[in-house]
């Protein structure tokens, strides 16, 4: 039993490789030349990058078809759906077409028809389409700008807009053949993007409308301020609230004083009634009833003040009565001494009662004055109350005017803000927008494609691998005998003799590093 010898794959690989080295060299050199020439043949492309940050999403609190509300617009953080919407606005064909159209009007894009349009489309349109339209009576619409459509479609393909993961930043990458024109296109695209966002978020109302509403609010504010000033002038007050507080304090003070006067009036009235009744009783009393039941003592701040005249007369009357009563026990009632004593007592008693009457009249006058003071304070409190009623009515009216004035101020401020937004003053620098250009585009100095440093090495490696693959394919379809083991394996016959080619390879006769030497190496 014989065993099959183990096949050496490495030996077989090198045998096939060196047996077909001429084909390997030619295929490899062809791809090497292609890899070297490819960066020179391919059209250069530049990548222009920029970034836009969306800080918040604007929620309008008003309706554009009606009067503006007093609430200001609100801004909330953008969501993933909002960021995708912003990206769609940036990559929209309408925005790109608008940008390219503006640049074309400024002369940045050549306005010449392409080769396909000059050689095929235009002759076909003039020779076939226009006669057909004329035959069927239709007018030819020549308003379609095919070059603008082509530029727009190409820009949509070359523009890459994506949201950076986990952020509110939009990255823009534009691949352009002209670095300067591509940078200008991206810059203008960002400007138009901010302008379109501003138009979407603002109330799209005409500027004349804002001007009219602005003048209307100014006139209305002036009228309300005039009404308020007229109300304050009519009552002679600059601040009704402050004057009401002052008047209330005055009423409180007057009421306290009025209560004291009323208490005093009641007290004096009671003492007056008592004195009058006591005087009437004293006038009817006998001579021996000399005591008067009142001392005419006045207490002020816990200090007692006595009437000296009344006190002296009272003491004298008491003394004479005491002496008279003492003498009555000794002398006869009809004696001269007793008669004289009675005359003196009567005279002194009459004088005393006369003074008491004077004091009662003083009390009556004081009571009349107190009554006048009470009436005066009552009238003053009534005047204060009437004034307070006037001030409160005026304050109520001015409060209504102040509320309307404040509402007009807020509405006027809102209209002024919308008016400024409608004018678009802050579109270039983004001052009126909640989106900002985070990274402005700049003109690149080196092309992003092609890159010789990558194309040439990968081309050489690809050429070598392809050459090896071609050799193996050729070897697979070549059924000729190439070594003695194949005869024994295929025919089953023994190999008696192998004669090798002893002709030595001719050396390269050309100079080193010359083109003929390279050509000789490729051929052999």
Q: How far is Cα 302 from Cα 312, in angstroms, rounded to an integer?
A: 23
Q: Answer whether residue 111 is part of any domain.
A: yes
- Given this model, what pLDDT does residue 281 score? 83
Chain centroid to CA 431: 12
Cis peptide before 418 (omega within 30 of 0): no
Q: How far is Cα 337 from Cα 333, in angstroms, rounded to an integer?
A: 9
Q: Answer whether residue 7 is part of any domain.
A: no
- pLDDT mean over 206-225: 76
271 and 396 part of one domain: yes
pLDDT above 80: residue 121 = no
173 and 255 part of one domain: no
Give 69 or 299, the one with higher predicted confidence: 299
Q: How confident is the model at residue 66 (pLDDT cuts 50, 70, 90)?
A: very low
Tokens 């005591």 belong to 291
- Enter the tokens of residue 231: 């109300």
User: Averaging pLDDT over each range in 216-230, 335-349, 368-382, 436-450, which range is the top one?
Assistant: 368-382
Q: Answer whether residue 227 is part of any domain.
A: no
How crowded is the C-beta side of 286, counted as CA atoms within 13 Å?
A: 2
Q: How far is Cα 468 from Cα 25, in angstroms, rounded to an integer?
A: 10
**What's the structural domain count of the chain?**
3
- Enter the tokens of residue 453: 């440093």
pLDDT above 50: residue 425 = no
182 and 77 part of one domain: yes
384 and 437 part of one domain: no
Q: How many helices and strands, by DSSP H and E, does the chain display?
A: 16, 8
- Given this model, what pLDDT does residue 64 score? 44
Q: How far is Cα 146 from Cα 26, in angstroms, rounded to an integer?
A: 46
Q: How many CB atoms lie within 10 A of CB 168?
A: 21
Which helix (H) or strand (E) segment is 15 a member of? helix 9-19
**What residues pair up with 54 in beta bridges, in sequence order?**
435
User: Averaging pLDDT over each range in 12-21, 130-139, 346-355, 500-509, which range is the top one?
Assistant: 346-355
3 state SS of 176: strand
Give the residue from 392, 422, 452 where a domain finishes: 422
pLDDT above 70: residue 136 = no
**Order of strands, edge to edge, in the sheet holding 435-439?**
159-163, 169-176, 46-54, 435-439
CB-CB contact of 57 with 76 (8 Å): yes
57 and 195 part of one domain: yes
Which helix (H) or strand (E) segment is 483 a member of? none
pLDDT above 60: residue 203 = no
Q: Answer whether residue 469 is part of any domain.
A: no
CB-CB contact of 398 with 244 (8 Å): no
- Given this model, what pLDDT does residue 255 score? 92
Q: Is 143 exposed, middle or buried (0-12, 13-18, 19+ CB in 10 A)?
A: exposed
Q: Answer whether residue 1 is part of any domain.
A: no
- Given this model, what pLDDT does residue 381 score? 92
277 and 370 part of one domain: yes
List, as one string, the DSSP characters of 405-444.
HHHHHHHHHHHHHHHHHHHTTTTTTTTTSSEEEEE-----
Give 419 or 414, the one with higher predicted confidence: 414
- pLDDT mean over 268-286: 85
- Given this model, what pLDDT does residue 137 score? 54
Q: Answer whether residue 24 is part of any domain.
A: no
pLDDT above 80: residue 287 = no
* C-alpha dihedral, 15 to 17 to 23 to 26, nearest 10°: -150
- pLDDT mean over 203-211: 61
- Given this model, what pLDDT does residue 466 score? 83
The set of residues, in sequence order, having a beta carbon less than 8 Å from that of 92 and lying 6+ positions away, is none
384-396, pLDDT tens digit by residue?
999 899 888 888 8
Structural domain including 507 reads: 485-523
Mean pLDDT score of the chain: 77
Q: Answer whether residue 477 is part of any domain.
A: no
Q: Answer whether residue 492 is part of any domain.
A: yes
Percent of the chain surpassing pLDDT 90 = 11
pLDDT above 60: residue 103 = yes
Q: How confident is the model at residue 161 (pLDDT cuts 50, 70, 90)?
A: very high
262 and 383 part of one domain: yes
192 and 274 part of one domain: no
Q: What angle do CA 344, 348, 354 make, to 5 degrees?
A: 150
Closest C-alpha to 14, from 5, 24, 6, 4: 24
Q: How far is Cα 120 from Cα 131, in angstroms, rounded to an integer?
A: 16
- pLDDT mean over 177-193: 89
Give 293 or 61, the one with higher predicted confidence: 293
54 and 125 part of one domain: yes
Among 274-283, 411-420, 463-472, which is the least confidently predicted range?
Answer: 411-420
197 and 289 part of one domain: no
- Given this model, what pLDDT does residue 3 score? 47
pLDDT above 90: residue 487 = no
pLDDT above 60: residue 430 = no
pLDDT above 50: residue 431 = no
- Given this model, what pLDDT does residue 278 score? 85
pLDDT above 80: residue 322 = yes
- Given this model, what pLDDT does residue 63 score? 46
pLDDT above 50: residue 429 = no
Q: How many CB atoms lie within 10 A of CB 390?
A: 18
The CA-atom distances, in angstroms, between 18 and each of 30, 326, 353, 468, 502 are 18, 182, 168, 11, 17
For the entire predicted model, the pTM comes to 0.45
158 and 245 part of one domain: no
447 and 493 part of one domain: no
Q: How confident is the model at residue 420 (pLDDT cuts 50, 70, 90)?
A: low
- Enter the tokens of residue 338: 């007793």
Q: Rg of the Cα trace of the chain?
A: 62
């Amino acid at each position: 039993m014989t065993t099959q010898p183990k096949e050496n794959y490495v030996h077989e690989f090198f045998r096939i490789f060196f047996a077909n080295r001429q084909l390997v060299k030619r295929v490899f050199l062809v791809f090497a030349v292609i890899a070297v020439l490819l960066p020179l043949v391919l059209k250069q492309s530049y990548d222009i990058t920029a970034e836009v940050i969306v800080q918040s999403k604007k929620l309008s609190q008003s309706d554009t078809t009606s009067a503006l509300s007093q609430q200001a617009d609100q801004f909330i953080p953008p969501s993933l759906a909002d960021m995708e919407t912003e990206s769609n606005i940036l990559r929209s064909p309408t925005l790109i077409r608008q940008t390219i159209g503006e640049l074309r009007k400024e002369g940045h894009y050549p306005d010449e028809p392409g080769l396909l349009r000059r050689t095929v489309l235009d002759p076909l349109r003039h020779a076939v389409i226009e006669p057909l339209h004329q035959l069927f009576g239709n007018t030819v619409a020549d308003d379609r700008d095919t070059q603008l459509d082509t530029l727009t479609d190409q820009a949509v393909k070359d523009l890459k807009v994506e949201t950076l993961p986990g952020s509110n930043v939009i990255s823009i990458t534009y691949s352009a053949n002209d670095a300067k024109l591509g940078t200008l296109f991206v810059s203008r695209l960002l400007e138009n993007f901010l302008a379109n966002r501003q138009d979407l978020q603002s109330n799209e109302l005409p500027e004349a409308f804002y001007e009219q509403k602005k003048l209307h609010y100014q006139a209305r504010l002036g009228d309300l301020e005039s009404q308020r000033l007229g109300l304050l002038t009519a009552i002679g007050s600059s601040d009704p609230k402050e004057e009401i507080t002052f008047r209330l304090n005055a009423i409180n003070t007057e009421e306290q004083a009025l209560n004291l006067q009323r208490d005093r009036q009641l007290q004096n009235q009671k003492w007056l009634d008592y004195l009058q009744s006591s005087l009437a009783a004293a006038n009817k009393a006998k001579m021996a009833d000399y005591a008067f039941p009142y001392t005419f003592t006045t207490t002020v701040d816990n200090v007692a003040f006595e009437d000296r005249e009344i006190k002296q007369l009272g003491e004298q009357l008491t003394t004479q009565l005491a002496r008279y009563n003492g003498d009555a026990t000794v002398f006869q009632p009809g004696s001269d001494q007793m008669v004289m004593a009675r005359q003196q007592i009567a005279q002194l008693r009459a004088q005393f009662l006369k003074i008491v009457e004077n004091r009662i009249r003083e009390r009556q006058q004081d009571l009349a004055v107190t009554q006048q003071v009470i009436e005066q304070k009552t009238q003053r409190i009534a005047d204060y109350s009437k004034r307070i009623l006037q001030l409160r009515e005026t304050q109520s009216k001015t409060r209504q005017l102040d509320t309307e004035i404040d509402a007009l101020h807020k509405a006027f401020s809102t209209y002024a803000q919308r008016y400024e937004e409608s004018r678009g003053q802050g579109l270039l620098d983004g001052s009126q927008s909640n989106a900002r250009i985070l990274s402005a585009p700049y003109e690149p100095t080196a092309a992003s494609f092609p890159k010789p440093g990558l194309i040439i090495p990968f081309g050489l490696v690809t050429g070598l691998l392809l050459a090896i693959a071609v050799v193996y394919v050729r070897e697979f379809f070549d059924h000729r005998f190439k070594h003695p083991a194949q005869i024994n394996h295929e025919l089953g016959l023994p190999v008696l003799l192998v004669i090798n080619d002893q002709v030595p390879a001719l050396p390269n006769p050309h100079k080193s590093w010359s083109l003929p030497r390279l050509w000789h190496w490729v051929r052999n």
